[in-house]
Amino acid sequence: MTEIYFSKLLKNNTTSVDTKNFIYIKSKWDYQQAEILLQDSETVYEEECRRLLTAQIPIAGYSYEIDDENKQLKVKKDPLSYLYLDIALKEIKNHYEIFDDVIELIQQQKSYTIERAEKTKDKDTLKIEIQDDFRRLIDEKNRLEKSLLKKAALLLNTKKQKITELEQRLKQYEKQAEETIADITHIEESEEDLPGTSNNVQTAKRQARIIESDASSEEEGNENVRKNNSSDDDAFMADTEPIIFPV
């Protein structure tokens, strides 16, 4: 890619022939499609030279001198004023060359304008796409939030209904238990209020005690009889001697 520049530079020295303090320089730069390393000292130097020759205003820290005899442009760097750039100049004698350069500069500016417009268009298109994506994401987020809220409300209503049913069943169980306890209490009170009920109960208890005492007396008598029989048998066996028959 080739670029052309016109720069108005300030001269430090003047001659008797040319007393103007400014000089116009046309420079053309050819950029090759190559990888440039920023740490490369040569690349840094070339970039600085391009900046010195294409700037529209003088750059602080540099001074420009023209050698009319040798037709050279010298750029010195302050404060030591050492030579930083030395480049040969070609004088333009034909006005048609300047006209051609101006046409080339106009075409260059036009290409820059078209390229900038395309970049702006691409940026605008990308911006619109990003806005559409953002709007779609917001709509999707709102839809998901509404769906989650509906599900949460449905779940809460189901839980509340289940809790209400359990509370009603618990109340029914409590009511049935209270009614059962009341019926039992009423029956007991009714039995206590009936005449002869307590006497019958006491009579039944006395009969049970009598039966138990009779049964225990009978068992004691049987035990005594067994003891007497066993003692008589032992005494009989002790007093009896065996009979021996003669052979």
Does residue 34 sit within a domain? yes
* pLDDT for the residue 225: 54
List, for residues 107-137, the tens digit of each pLDDT value. Answer: 777 777 888 888 888 888 888 888 888 999 9
Does residue 67 sit within a domain? yes
Does residue 97 sit within a domain? no
Does residue 205 sit within a domain? no
Does residue 53 sit within a domain? yes
Two structure tokens written together for 130: 């990003």
Predicted confidence band of residue 217 (pLDDT cuts 50, 70, 90): low
- C-beta neighbour count of 203 within 10 angstroms: 11
Higher pLDDT, 72 or 14: 72
Q: Identity (one letter) of the amino acid at 74?
A: K
The model's pTM = 0.30
Strand order in the sheet with 62-67: 62-67, 72-77, 82-88
Domain carrying residue 16? 2-91
Does residue 152 sit within a domain? no
Does residue 65 sit within a domain? yes
Does residue 35 sit within a domain? yes
* pLDDT for the residue 4: 65
**Cβ–Cβ < 8 Å for 62, 29:** no
Predicted confidence band of residue 32 (pLDDT cuts 50, 70, 90): low
- C-beta neighbour count of 104 within 10 angstroms: 15
d(CA 170, CA 155): 22
Mean pLDDT of the chain, nearest integer:
71
Answer whether the bond into residue 242 is a cis peptide, omega within 30°.
no
Q: How many domains does the chain have?
A: 1
